[in-house]
Amino acid sequence: MNTTPSPQTNTTPHPSRPAQQRGKPDIVILIDSNGKFIDENKLFPTHTVAKIWCPNTQHAMDLLSEQQLGSPSHIIIHTGSNDLRSQQERVSESLRGVIEKASTTFPNSRVVMSTLLPRKDLHPDTIHRINSNMSRDCILRPNVHLAHHPTLDINCLYDHVHLYKNTVPIFARTLKDVALNRDQSTPRRRSSPAQNPLRPERHPTGPPPRQHPWRQDHPHLLPHHAPLRSHQGSYDYPQARPEPLLSPGVPPQPQRRELHPDPLSYAQAVKRTAGPTLTTTTHVPEPTHTPPHDELRDIQQMLSLLCSHLIGQVPQ
């Protein structure tokens, strides 16, 4: 009878499998349980990648050695969330130790430190202060770079700590962009030129719109050097075009009326003198035509004679 116990399936990640057993990776990812759904081979298809479970900062300190990791060109670290309950803001000191050891142990590697994700069971200001301290610590190390996740908030968590599966690619994309020193907005900008050819279709087709149509109906307001019609094919509104204010060769009519009274014919002048007084005469409508110069001179002479005759009849 075989008394050997049957093997049990271990569903927990392998926390400390040396990197040498998997070959010499180019990229090493030290990550907690939020990296469960990250496929490292799809994330870096052209590199040899090793993803190692790293639940807390102490485990990261144990793994950061050439014996464990070899000599990778890139090291990505996301850990510290599980230390928040026990250490609170002292996690900043633990993360500072991880940054210093990664930078000094692997001076030729590009080290990426990931900021802590939000948690529903902790105040956001606590995590914000820890991430701010981590950012300052990374600046002091030339080979350490910060991967920040501003688009991931508590709405991306299905419990207090873990990300929804559909938000993990956003998290992984940020880690990849910082590791490869890529601009995170580059993929969005690359797709924009394909939309540029569609922009001309937005403009309406047809003749160009008329500019300042009132100038076409009032040519006397245009500058002397401007043409009366800027577009031959433009539509004209159905209205009468105003006549010119002045006729060529004729003196201004309003000024003549102000300087001289309206001329009267011989019959009108005689009828005017026959009345009792000069003030009771009725106004004669304006003539519709301009009398010749000779007729005006005759009327003036006639009026002078009439005035002399009337003055002579006034009693002394």
pLDDT in tens, 64-95: 999 999 999 999 999 999 999 888 889 999 99
Encoded tokens for 30: 């030290």
Shared domain for 153 and 268, answered yes or no, is no
Domain that residue 108 falls in: 27-185
Shared domain for 47 and 151, answered yes or no, is yes
Shared domain for 47 and 173, answered yes or no, is yes
Q: In angstroms, rounded to a whole number, what is the distance separating the alpha carbons of residues 3 and 29? A: 41
CA distances from 201 to 34, 191, 196, 198 (A): 46, 19, 10, 6
* Cβ–Cβ under 8 Å, residues 262 and 284: yes
The predicted structure's pLDDT at residue 206: 55
Shared domain for 62 and 166, answered yes or no, is yes
Mean pLDDT of the chain: 74
pLDDT in tens, 167-182: 999 999 999 999 999 9
Q: What distance, in Å, lies between the first and last C-alpha atoms of the chain? A: 173
Q: What is the CA radius of gyration of the chain?
A: 50
pLDDT in tens, 252-267: 555 444 444 555 555 5
Other beta carbons within 10 angstroms of residue 292's beta carbon come to: 9
Shared domain for 52 and 146, answered yes or no, is yes
Q: What CATH number did the domain enclosing 161 receive?
A: 3.40.50.1110
Domain assignment present for 299:
yes
Closest among 31, 24, 71, 21 to 52, alpha carbons compared: 31
Domain assignment present for 201:
no
Q: How confident is the model over 290-308, as a mean pLDDT?
A: 75
The predicted structure's pLDDT at residue 312: 65
Alpha-helix residue ranges (DSSP H) falling in the chain: 40-43, 57-63, 66-69, 84-87, 91-105, 124-139, 168-179, 186-191, 213-217, 253-259, 266-273, 293-313
Q: Is the pLDDT of residue 251 over 60?
A: no
Q: What angle do CA 212, 215, 221 make, to 5 degrees?
A: 135
Q: How confident is the model over 23-31, as a mean pLDDT?
A: 93
Tell me the pTM.
0.55
Residue 308 pLDDT class (50, 70, 90 cuts): confident
Conformation bin of residue 205: beta by default, left when phi > 0, alpha when psi is -120 to 50: beta
